[in-house]
A = this chain, B = another copy of it.
Amino acid sequence: MEYLINRLKEKSLKVTPQRVAIAQTIQKSGHVDIDEIYSIIVKSFPTISLATLYKNINSFLEKNFIVEVPVPNHKTKYELVQDSHAHFICTRCGSIKDISLDENRLLSSVHKDKGLGKFERYSFSLYGNCCSE
């Protein structure tokens, strides 16, 4: 928690109880969507509003404190900005697993021929089905 507060400060995000609660929820869950965050937080923090949640998610995204993880057939999930990794995403149940990777190898797989612009980040996701079917 001290850690999260410091991360918020590093990103010049004012530290409010709501923000700490949101950050903790995302950290604890790993990958969560807005509604999941809301229903978790509202238990310990009954006054929080969805509007506040949306506003903070947007601030967090702008300040690169979190990133979006879009999930087909499900609401977009969010995770804290972390060391690079890939995702295994189940398109049936929407669950996400982190997969470690060799970043150099990954990046060497793209053909940088045609003046590929500079990029700030990347995402690599594998889609499958981890459920019955």
B123 touches A124 (CB 8 A): yes
* Copies of this protein, total: 2
Interface size on A, residues (CB 8 A): 36
A101–B105 touching, CB < 8 Å: no
Docked complex Cα distance between A68 and B103 (Å): 24
Give Cα distance in the complex from A123 to B69, angstroms. 12
Q: Is the CB of B125 within 8 A of A123?
A: yes
- A49 interfacial contact with B, CB 8 Å: no
Q: State which residues 19-73 of A face B: CB under 8 Å.
A: 61, 68, 70, 72
A106 to B110, CA, bound (A): 8
Contact (Cβ within 8 A) A122 B111: no
Kindly state whether residue A81 has any CB partner on chain B within 8 Å. no
Flag if A105 contacts B116 (CB, 8 Å).
no
Q: A68-B72, A70-B70, A105-B105 are in contact. Are A120 and B127 (CB under 8 A)?
A: yes
Q: Check if A127 sits within 8 Å of B122, measured CB to CB.
A: yes
**A102 CB-CB contact with B under 8 Å:** yes
CB <8 Å contact, B86 and A110: yes
A70 to B127: give the CA distance in the assembly, Å. 14
- Tell whether, in the assembled complex, residue B123 and residue A110 are in contact, meaning their CB atoms are under 8 Å apart: no
When distances are taken between beta carbons in the complex, the residues of chain B under 8 Å from A116 are 88, 97, 99, 126
